[in-house]
Amino acid sequence: MSDALAAYDFHLPESQIAQRPAERRDASRMLVLHRETGQIEDRRVTDLPEYLRSPDALVVNDTRVMAARLVGHRPTGGKAEVFLVERVEEATWRALVRPGRKLREGATVQLADGVEGEILAVEPDGKRRVRFTQNGAPFATEADEREALDAIGQLPLPPYIERPADRADRERYQTVYARESGAVAAPTAGLHFTPALFEALDAQDIARIGLTLHVG
């Protein structure tokens, strides 16, 4: 194998980049490489149980994607966007913002449902610290804060998806086992698993181990 990254470049026509997921999660294609023989098979994810045997184990990432993209406007009326990265303290998040040159310390962004974000600081890497309030008041609890931001946010689809996020993405851009909110991108390999596929693996005594690794 080559150590040069350029050796792995290839042409990917835009027409081959799906803008919507397959109707069935486990109907997506799966490439199988047999390590001992080098044989390659073109299969479907639903065929995965054929290749696993006890005591094999499947490790899954149970992170849940946040509705991290918040779109609003500046007091002047210009469009503004806040992209949540990490909660750092009560109602305060590290975030990416656009337009960066307009959203300096002290600037505010008006969002839906009476939510407002105030830029508290510009960090050395360019990210902002943003504090959120609703109708001019702090949130009573962290749960209220997260619920309000989730209600007005959009799921952050990958840049190669050239369409706005919609309601269907709130279900399809999550794994069926997502639990711990905090990711700003999905663990995409896990999007293909279904309850029926897990049942088939359980029937073969394939262990399943969960961990949480927030992506993004």
Q: Where are the domains of the chain?
A: 5-64+180-211, 69-152
Q: Output DSSP code: residue 58.
A: E
Cα-atom radius of gyration of the chain, to the nearest Å? Answer: 21
Q: Residue 1's pLDDT band (boundaries 50, 70, 90)? A: low
Please state, rounded to an integer, the average pLDDT across all residues of the chain.
95
Architecture of the structural domain at 69-152: Beta Barrel (2.40)
- Mean pLDDT (whole number) for 6-25: 91
Q: Give the residue ranges of DSSP H helices in the chain.
A: 142-152, 169-172, 195-203
Q: Which amino acid is at 206?
A: I
As given in the structure block, the two tokens for residue 91 are: 């109602």
Rounded to whole angstroms, the Cα distance separating 147 from 152 reads: 9
Rounded to whole angstroms, the Cα distance separating 27 from 21 reads: 10
User: 4 near 17, Cβ under 8 Å?
Assistant: no
Whether omega before 138 lies within 30 degrees of 0, making that bond cis, reads: no
57-116 tens-digit pLDDT: 999 999 999 999 999 999 999 999 999 999 999 999 999 999 999 999 999 999 999 999
Q: Residue 216's pLDDT band (boundaries 50, 70, 90)? A: confident
- The predicted structure's pLDDT at residue 3: 79
* Residue appearing with tokens 């023989």: 37
How far is CA 120 from each of CA 77, 125, 132, 186, rounded to the nearest angstrom?
A: 20, 15, 10, 29
Q: For 5-64+180-211, CATH number?
A: 3.40.1780.10
Q: Which amino acid is at 32?
A: V
As given in the structure block, the two tokens for residue 129 are: 């610290």
Name the residue among 79, 47, 15, 43 with its Cα closest to residue 193.
Answer: 47
105-128 tens-digit pLDDT: 999 999 999 999 999 999 999 999
Give strand ranges (E) for the chain. Answer: 29-33, 40-44, 57-61, 63-65, 69-73, 79-89, 92-98, 108-110, 115-122, 128-134, 180-183, 207-211
Phi, psi angles (nearest 5°) of residue 148: -65, -45
What are the percentages of helix, strand and coil residues in the chain, rounded to 5? 25, 30, 45
